[in-house]
A and B are shown apart, each in its own frame.
Chain A
Amino acid sequence: MDTVAADGLLAWSWLLIALPLAGAAVLLLGGRRTDRWGHLLGTGTVVTAFVLGLLCTLQLADAGGRPVSVELWTFIETGSLDVPVGLLFDPLSAVFVLLITGVGALIHIYSIGYMAHDPRRRRFFAYLNLFVAAMLLLVLGDNFVVLYVGWEGVGLASYLLIAFWHERPAAATAAKKAFIMNRVGDVGLALAIFLMFAQLGTVTYDGVFGSVGALAGGTVTAIGLLLLLGACGKSGQFPLQAWLPDAMEGPTPVSALIHAATMVTAGVYLIARSAPIYDETPTARAVVLAVGAITLLIGAIVGCAQDDIKKVLAYSTVSQIGYMFLAVGLGPAGYVAGLAHLLTHGFFKAGLFLGAGSVMHAMNDAVDMRRFGGLASRMRITFVTFGLGYLALIGFPFLSGFYTKDAIIEAAFDRGDGWGYVLGGVAILAAGLTAFYMTRLMLMTFFGRPRWDEGVHPHESPSVMTAPMVLLALGSVLAGYLLVVAFPLEEWLVPVFGRPEAAEHVVAPLVVSALVTVVMLLGVASAWMFVGRREVPVTAPARVSPVVLAARRALYADTVNESLFMRPGQWLTRALVFLDNRGVDGAVNGLAAALGGSSSRLGRTQTGFVRSYALGMLGGAVVVAGALLAVTAG
């Protein structure tokens, strides 16, 4: 990757990070004084950042997409390790900047309405700004350490925002769970960075990618797997997927921005950015594939049995990111497809979450779909935008999901070997399941007889909320066409991934598209059969098949985690505490007690009677005299 120094507007690209960061600082440090206009400032910084990002991208496009580096300052300077802080603005960063600031700006606007009645709205916007700043630092950094700083920053912002309503125990617990499971992944990322430094002596993208080919295969595989562990933690992939659905305890705009559109895709960004590393290690790449495929199925299966509207969307996110992992695991053929799906997914999933938020807003913050129903006539804008997002997600022909998901499935088949068929089959099956659970969601929410609680009067949300939903719905419809046909992402990303050789299609694209569409229609139809035709029970039926029960329990992910890690960890901790109290402390305290006891007993000889002491002196004199006599006489 040869980069050029930044000039023009690109030299100011650090403002992209600085603006939201300054917004967060002002809002957090300003206190109550900023309550009245805090949300406007928070939104303004992100909108400004979006405009700036757009201008930067246009300049980059003018320059033919040559990566641009912005040197800022040196972070760490030691004998053998120099960590400069610099920004790398290349086509890959540019699409992420646009996604983060674009979707972020829309969600900020939406939040003005959604959080209007929350007394802590200013703090919410401060955290959102902090998140945007950290996320931009993550995607703009030109080395792994800066990426790590941003990585931890988004983790912190995610924690703060999940626990935004920390007075609710469920939210506090979910935040803790997200934080701890993210730490597991972060340890992997940190170890990968340590390994790079130990083996290569550098952590910059240029340095690492330039010399990774010289490393032993095992080391590269280790780095790849550790990076994958970090990516899994951040993106909610198997086996660290359990935190993401729980993270829905946060406010819905947070779910839309962080836990659907941007932060959880950081893992995909990491793996795509580290493409030169994975190019060297087919083993790690195969593991990425496996993780993607497994997660894809898990998310889709669990999504079918959930009754909480946000949980369904969360498992859908898990599943869709599984698609992206699958794509980037396929190697050069899949990067563009994965990233395109990432972008379109950012649009339609954010739109779906905002729609869900709008529904919850109307239903007094209820999330149980069994208590919805018949909302289509009451909330027309929400219904239409949500419906468009739904169609885009299930891959309805010529909407955005159709283009990008098909591309991934095609790339899977294009592997050409048996595994390619397996992966493609899995992806198609998951597409069917996606159609099933999303149709189920639509039917239970918007159609059928109203099953609302007493005193609920659904109404359409204010325009400050619906406007972003409309814009995102437009994006859901058009993004696929724009990214794949009109302005091919493939061309745009050539400076990053190079130009892939034209793949030989094992299965004709038309056949794949037809197959996917048929399976999708089958899913929709079976959802209609199971849900739409019958009355939806208000309480979930207790007598269900073991498969449904397992899906409801999220395939026992929490149970596995608890029995494999939590319980043994607690036992270990208890044993260590016992050992510390009785063993270490016991030895130390026992020694101290023994010394104290013996010294106080010895102290009893110090009676304070001067005659006793004099007696001792005389005794000593007798001994000395005797010794002298014995020596001279002897």
Chain B
Amino acid sequence: MNDVVIGTGEAVVFWILGPLALAGALGMVLSRNAVHSALWLINTMLALGVFYVVQEAPFLGAVQIIVYTGAIMILFLFVLMLVGRDTSDSVVETLRGQRVAAILLGIGFAGLVGAGIARATRDLPVAGLDAVQGGDTSNIEAIAQLLFTRYLLAFEVTSALLITAAVGAMVLAHIEREPGTRRTQKELSRARFLTDRPQTLPGPGVHARANSVAAPALLPDGRPAEDSFATGIDPQEVDQMPRPTGRAQLGSPDAALGTLDPAPLDGGRQP
């Protein structure tokens, strides 16, 4: 009793967005960079949102796009930026046989479930949702009626779950610091004036021939200024840009000092 006939338009949408969703899923699994994975996943989720709308669930489609794609995936990207964005997965599989077994089992699972579903739903009657929505009752109204009647308890429990999750996340992400250990700006500046060098440290790249943060400042004799090194970054050798010829004709201060070679940097260029 195929009440509802699936129209050609829907078929067209499916055959366009279905492969796109698949491509997004595969891309997520296969891309080495986690940010790319997230973008691929967003692609799939958008496609699924459209599917929801097509399948008479406009509310869920909107939620999918706004909440899932908009909020949750942004949260993913946010955490990715905090955690190891630049560490791409190595291609080498450490667990022996894991990849092969996973792919074989995946193909087997997909085959079995797909075949089972195809077999079970070949003649699935499509009742359609016209009886419960459409006309006077919109999709949102119908869902709201269900949520606040039959599923009221589950809905309330869900709110408790969300509160708990929010508190839990705060607790987990919070860094406990002993009260009083944090130094105020006043204390910091007072401490700096007690040192030998009250003025600010030289910025990286200043007096150098590059403005990269990885390039140390150069002293007048060409040596790098040690205290201009950025913490956490290995100092890179300054590219030896050709000096302006005009300057060479004028006679460089380097030449006056008796050397043209830049002083070698500690460690040299990183391989």
Q: Enumerate chain B residues within 8 angstroms of A626, measured Cβ to Cβ.
A: 108, 112
Q: Are A611 and B98 in contact (CB under 8 A)?
A: yes
Shortest distance from the beta carbon of B202 to any chain A beta carbon, whole Å? 48
Q: Are B95 and A629 in contact (CB under 8 A)?
A: no
Q: Are B102 and A615 in contact (CB under 8 A)?
A: yes
Contact with B along A403-417 (1 / 0, CB 8 A): 000000000000000
Q: Enumerate chain B residues within 8 angstroms of A622, measured Cβ to Cβ.
A: 105, 108-109, 112
Q: Enumerate chain A residues within 8 angstroms of B102, measured Cβ to Cβ.
A: 615, 618
Given the complex of chains A and B, what is the CA–CA distance between A619 and B101 in angstroms? 9
Binds A, one of B113-121, B124-132, B170-178, B210-218: B113-121
Interface size on B, residues (CB 8 A): 14
Q: Are B109 and A633 in contact (CB under 8 A)?
A: no
**Known contacts A612-B95, A633-B119: A618-B105 contact under CB 8 Å:** yes
Contact with B along A292-327 (1 / 0, CB 8 A): 000000000000000000000000000000000000
Q: Enumerate chain B residues within 8 angstroms of A628, measured Cβ to Cβ.
A: 116
B220 contacts A by Cβ under 8 Å: no
Given the complex of chains A and B, what is the CA–CA distance between A611 and B95 in angstroms? 9
Given the complex of chains A and B, what is the CA–CA distance between A607 and B105 in angstroms? 20
Shortest distance from the beta carbon of A190 to any chain B beta carbon, whole Å? 71
**Known contacts A628-B116, A629-B115: A615-B101 contact under CB 8 Å:** yes
Given the complex of chains A and B, what is the CA–CA distance between A626 and B107 in angstroms? 13
Closest to B105 in A: A618
A58 contacts B by Cβ under 8 Å: no
8 Å CB contact of B98 from A615, A629, A632: A615
Shortest distance from the beta carbon of A421 to any chain B beta carbon, whole Å? 102
Shortest distance from the beta carbon of A609 to any chain B beta carbon, whole Å? 6
Which DSSP category, helix, strand, loop or mixed, fits chain A's interface?
A: helix
Q: Enumerate chain B residues within 8 angstroms of A529, measured Cβ to Cβ.
A: none
Which DSSP category, helix, strand, loop or mixed, fits chain B's interface?
A: helix
A621 contacts B by Cβ under 8 Å: yes
Shortest distance from the beta carbon of A614 to any chain B beta carbon, whole Å? 9
A625 contacts B by Cβ under 8 Å: yes
Contact with B along A197-211 (1 / 0, CB 8 A): 000000000000000
Q: Enumerate chain A residues within 8 angstroms of B262, measured Cβ to Cβ.
A: none
**Known contacts A618-B105, A619-B105, A622-B105: A612-B112 contact under CB 8 Å:** no
B70 contacts A by Cβ under 8 Å: no
Given the complex of chains A and B, what is the CA–CA distance between A628 and B101 in angstroms? 22
Given the complex of chains A and B, what is the CA–CA distance between A476 and B116 in angstroms? 116
Q: Are A625 and B98 in contact (CB under 8 A)?
A: no
B253 contacts A by Cβ under 8 Å: no
Given the complex of chains A and B, what is the CA–CA distance between A219 and B133 in angstroms? 103
Q: Enumerate chain A residues within 8 angstroms of B108, measured Cβ to Cβ.
A: 622, 626
8 Å CB contact of B106 from A612, A618, A632, A633: A618
Q: Are B109 and A625 in contact (CB under 8 A)?
A: yes
Interface residues of A in 595-634 (CB under 8 A from B): 607, 609, 611-612, 615, 618-619, 621-622, 625-626, 628-629, 632-633
Closest to A625 in B: B112
Q: Enumerate chain A residues within 8 angstroms of B116, measured Cβ to Cβ.
A: 625, 628-629, 632
Q: Are B106 and A609 in contact (CB under 8 A)?
A: no
Given the complex of chains A and B, what is the CA–CA distance between A615 and B104 in angstroms? 11
Shortest distance from the beta carbon of B174 to any chain A beta carbon, whole Å? 25
Q: Enumerate chain B residues within 8 angstroms of A621, measured Cβ to Cβ.
A: 109
> Which residues of A are interface residues toward B (Cβ below 8 A)?
607, 609, 611-612, 615, 618-619, 621-622, 625-626, 628-629, 632-633
What are 22 pairs between A and B in contact, CB < 8 Å? Answer: A611-B95, A611-B98, A612-B95, A612-B98, A615-B102, A618-B102, A618-B105, A619-B101, A619-B105, A621-B109, A622-B105, A622-B108, A625-B112, A625-B116, A626-B112, A628-B116, A629-B112, A629-B116, A632-B116, A632-B119, A632-B120, A633-B119
> Which residues of B are interface residues toward A (Cβ below 8 A)?
95, 98, 101-102, 105-106, 108-109, 112-113, 115-116, 119-120
- Beyond A626-B108, A629-B112, A629-B115, 7 extra complex contacts between A and B, CB < 8 Å: A621-B109, A622-B109, A628-B116, A629-B116, A632-B116, A632-B119, A632-B120
